[in-house]
Amino acid sequence: MSSIILAIVIGGAFGFTLDRIGATNPNFIIRMLNLTNLHLMRAILLGIGVAAVLAFGGLLTGLVDPGHLSVKTAYIGVFVGGLLLGLGFAVAGYCPGTGLAAAASGRYDAIVFALGGLLGAFAYMVTYADIASMGLLAEIAGGKTTLGTIAGTNYPALFDLSGELIGLVMGAAFIAVAWLLPERILGSKKHEAPAE
């Protein structure tokens, strides 16, 4: 029962935050991807950075149980699936989480997106055996690999260094990049001298 209460509290906070940062608005996602408004890119990078610093700080101090980590396996399908997701992400301006959040916020095109998503997920369920036999799901880079060695877990490490330290440095780097990114990269409203 307590896990259901946590689901409601954390899930609710996540959905609320997605809407507040503009992630339920496809204008922000599309304009992040066409590089004309990096508001959301900066929020996402800052979010990953803050979460990493807190999590690895928590692991070092013993606040976070390493058993709560859950690292996903690396395989070729991760990249291919990422390409497919990126394609649809750019067309619609929605990903699975933000699409559901946007549908709940009252966007009709997001409801249609979610219905397409249900069919797409179903298509994967029925083609899963074929995908597996094509070798797309074979592990690469050691499988459930992390950048460094994280104490209390048996995830293989890409580098033989403290995973907690790498996590903190990576988190700080994400925060720095969020700060350094401009508001937009392409087509600045202030007229720039044309390249000749």
Partner 1 sequence: MKAPLSWKTGGLLLGVVFFAAVLLVKPIGVSTQFVILDGILWDTVDSSVVTESTEAKSGYTSSNAYLAKSGGSYAKSVENPLNYSFVFVLALMAGAALSARLRGGVEKAEKSMPAVWRVNFGDEPWKRYLATFLAGFVVLYGARLAGGCTSGHMMSGMMQTAVSGFIFAGGVFAAGIPTALILFRKEN
The reply to whether 173 sits near partner 1 by the rule CB under 8 A is: no
Question: Applying CB under 8 A, which of residues 79, 135, 138, 173 lies at the interface with partner 1?
Answer: 79
Query: What is the b/e burial string over 121-142, where b = at least 16 CB atoms within 10 angstroms of the residue's CB?
Result: eeeeeeeeeeeeeeeeeeeeee
Among 84, 138, 151, 172, binds partner 1 (CB under 8 A): 84
Residue 170 is a binding residue for partner 1 (CB under 8 A): yes
Q: Which of residues 15-54 bind partner 1 (CB under 8 A)?
A: 15-22, 24-28, 30-31, 33-37, 39-40, 42-52, 54
What span, in angstroms and rounded, lies between the C-alpha atoms of 111 and 103?
5
Site string for partner 1, 146-165 (x = CB under 8 A): xxx-x-------x----x--
Which residues 88-127 are close enough to bind partner 1 by CB under 8 A? 88-110, 112-126
Q: Do the beta carbons of residue 28 and residue 39 sit within 8 Å? A: yes
Nearest partner of 47 among 39, 59, 37, judged by Cα: 39
